[in-house]
Amino acid sequence: MPRNPYYLYKKQDVMKNYLFDENMKMADLILIKPSLILLLPRFNIPMGFGDKSVKELCQNHGIAVDFFLLICNIYSHDNYVPSLDKVLAIDMSMLNCYLEASHRYYLDRRLPHISRHISRMTAEMKDRAGDILRKFFEEYNNEVVAHFKYEEQNVFPHLKRLLAGESSEGYSISQYSPSHTNIEDKLDDLTQIMFKYLPEEVKAYETIGAVFDILQLSEDLKKHSFIEEKVLIPYVEHLERKEKR
């Protein structure tokens, strides 16, 4: 059947209201929610997957398909909160790996990329305004780095120990607050400042590029903290309770 845009449009329109399942074609998943493409490198799934289903592809790459779908569904459906029972039925062995891969993506790729945008953009700005904007982003960047570092040094090893059945004494998930509110606010502020209050001498294209990338990062990070809050914490709490028994 020829896939004319109209057909695809209708299909996406209908499908976007349902959770994804393993028998869907990966290509359809991406058509329904194009930003899911950003998740593929975090799972080491390369492009060029033809008409393979999600299940086939995950099997080929050694990924638990239910875990992959959990992440895709959270990214695609706002307010989708999986129950703890549902999470417990899922193979969560990749959770650590996935979260760390996301951190690498933000730190090694997105933030440096946005930083370059901002440098080019502020180069045109007179007075100290450019310095101030750069400094604002730098501070934001440092906060993100510190937050991720805390998680990588405390939360992730804790989860690893629990999963391996080792003693997890010395740390409890109750000490961890995934709240990125303050960090998220800063990113939102940056977009507000850029499209509402930038001086006129700044080149529009540079700003547009930066704003797009920041909005995309902001959305991605919100989902990332949502996963930490609604999946990671309840899951680790469950493992801690289990260990105490």
Partner 1 sequence: MKLKILIAEPSQIIVEGLRSVLHDSPRLEVVSVAEDVAMLEERLVAHHPDAVVINPGLLPYSSQVPAMPGLPEGVFSVALVYQYFEPSYLRNFDAVIDIRESKHNIIAILTSLGREAADKKEGKSDASELTKRERDILVLVAKGLMSKEIAEQLNISIHTVISHRKNITKKTGIKSVAGLAVYAMLNNLMGEQVGAEGRDGETE
Which residues, at least 6 apart from 94, have a Cβ–Cβ distance to it below 8 Å?
Answer: 43, 63, 64, 67
Amino acid at 57: L
Residue with smaller CB distance to partner 1, 63 or 190: 190
Rounded Cα distance between 160 and 197, Å, is: 46
Rounded Cα distance between 215 and 33, Å, is: 16
- Binding partner 1 by CB under 8 A: which of 21, 108, 166, 188? 188
Q: Establish if 139 lies at the interface with partner 1 (CB under 8 A).
A: yes
Q: Establish if 133 lies at the interface with partner 1 (CB under 8 A).
A: yes
Q: What six digits make up the tokens of 50?
A: 């033809």
Q: Establish if 4 lies at the interface with partner 1 (CB under 8 A).
A: no
Amino acid at 74: I
- Among 32-40, 65-73, 87-95, 130-138, which window interacts with partner 1 (CB under 8 A)? 130-138
Q: How far is the CB of 214 from partner 1 (least distance, A)?
A: 13
Q: Establish if 144 lies at the interface with partner 1 (CB under 8 A).
A: no
Q: Establish if 185 lies at the interface with partner 1 (CB under 8 A).
A: yes
Residue with smaller CB distance to partner 1, 79 or 167: 79
- Binding partner 1 by CB under 8 A: which of 37, 132, 146, 204? 132
Q: How far is the CB of 217 from partner 1 (least distance, A)?
A: 16
- Binding partner 1 by CB under 8 A: which of 2, 3, 51, 128? 128
Q: Establish if 13 lies at the interface with partner 1 (CB under 8 A).
A: yes
**Angle formed by the axes of helices 65-76 and 95-104, nearest 10°:** 50
Amino acid at 222: K
Q: Which candidate, 221, 105, 99, places its Cα nearest to that of 158?
A: 99
Rounded Cα distance between 30 and 181, Å, is: 29
Measured at the alpha carbon of residue 238, what is the angle toward residues 64 and 179, in degrees to the nearest 5?
85
Q: Which candidate, 52, 53, 51, places its Cα nearest to that of 69?
A: 53
Rounded Cα distance between 146 and 235, Å, is: 23
Q: How far is the CB of 179 from partner 1 (least distance, A)?
A: 12
- Binding partner 1 by CB under 8 A: which of 166, 179, 182, 219? 182
Residue with smaller CB distance to partner 1, 68 or 137: 137
Q: How far is the CB of 10 from partner 1 (least distance, A)?
A: 8
Q: Establish if 186 lies at the interface with partner 1 (CB under 8 A).
A: yes
- Binding partner 1 by CB under 8 A: which of 8, 19, 193, 204? 193
What residues does 53 pair with on adjacent strands? 25
Alpha helices in the chain (DSSP H): 5-15, 26-32, 54-60, 65-76, 84-88, 95-104, 111-122, 129-150, 156-163, 181-197, 204-227, 233-244
The footprint of partner 1 (CB under 8 A) covers 13, 17, 79, 128-129, 132-133, 135-136, 139-140, 143, 182, 185-186, 188-190, 192-193, 196-199
